Amino acid sequence: AQSVTQLDSHVSVSEGTPVLLRCNYSSSYSPSLFWYVQHPNKGLQLLLKYTSAATLVKGINGFEAEFKKSETSFHLTKPSAHMSDAAEYFCVVSGFYNFNKFYFGSGTKLNVKP
Amino acid sequence: EAGVTQFPSHSVIEKGQTVTLRCDPISGHDNLYWYRRVMGKEIKFLLHFVKESKQDESGMPNNRFLAERTGGTYSTLKVQPAELEDSGVYFCASSQTLGLGQGRQETQYFGPGTRLLVL
């Protein structure tokens, strides 16, 4: 069965410092993986996706994630946090029998301090 | 291009009442999904339409929930009668159907959600 674990429910960083949001997945196949972000009172916005091409995936707003099969991880990083990055981030894995069925992690709330 | 829209943005009802949520997908998207996030839990899949047909409704919690997509455009999700545990945020998403050989790359575009509170 597919599942996603986001290791931190809350992460707090200072503006200008690096961001690391951790995600581990469980899957018996090579999955498609996504990171979505939700700003307050907004819909979920796609940051980036991995679909078995390059293992280092670049997304919007300077975010990137690296697919590591040996570690079953798909951590999200950004070199320098901006105040506008404060939001909730979701790691998502697609299903196997129904790849349209998304499995979400529990979310990580990112706080950016001035 | 307009994104996925949902109506209402908020709804407060009493236990036992009926509520209907509406989702308008991105124009031309055959796939439409409903998800739900109850307080303190992760976002969970409810069901998936391809045009007007239910492709997968494995996540629907019980028969108090009825989803429809007549004509393959907008969709409604009705909860009747509502219970306290139905409170949460209901998200709708839509995606295109990709051609063969393009792999599992269907990006789902989400709406802002409907916040439902059952008292």
pLDDT tens, per residue, chain A with 114 residues: 678 999 999 999 999 999 999 999 987 777 889 999 999 888 899 999 998 778 899 999 999 999 998 899 999 999 999 999 999 999 999 877 777 889 999 999 999 999
For residues B25 and A35, give the distance between their C-alpha atoms in angstroms, rounded to a whole number: 21
A48, A91, A102, best to mutate vs chain B, most B CBs in 10 Å: A102
Query: Is the pLDDT at B94 greater than 70, yes or no?
Result: yes
Query: Is the pLDDT at B104 greater than 70, yes or no?
Result: no
Structural domain including A61 reads: 3-113
Query: Is the pLDDT at B103 greater than 60, yes or no?
Result: no
Touching check for B105 and chain A: CB below 8 Å?
yes
Total tally of structural domains belonging to chain A: 1
Touching check for A90 and chain B: CB below 8 Å?
yes
Does A98 sit within 8 Å of B48, measured CB to CB? Answer: yes
SS3 B38: coil
The minimum CA-CA distance between B56 and chain A, rounded to whole Å, is: 8
Does B42 sit within 8 Å of A106, measured CB to CB? Answer: yes
End-to-end Cα distance, chain A: 41
Domains and CATH numbers, chain B: 5-96+110-118 (2.60.40.10)
Q: What is the pLDDT of residue B23?
A: 97
Touching check for B110 and chain A: CB below 8 Å?
yes
The minimum CA-CA distance between B21 and chain A, rounded to whole Å, is: 16
Q: What digits encode the pLDDT tens for the residues B6-18?
A: 999 999 999 999 9
Q: What is the pLDDT of residue B1?
A: 63
In chain B, residues 22-81 whose CB comes closer than 8 Å to chain A: 31, 33, 35, 41-45, 48, 55-56, 58-59
CATH number at residue A9: 2.60.40.10
Does B107 sit within 8 Å of A49, measured CB to CB? Answer: yes
Query: Is the pLDDT at B77 greater than 60, yes or no?
Result: yes
Write the CA distances from B66 to B38, B42, B44, integer angstroms.
Answer: 18, 22, 16
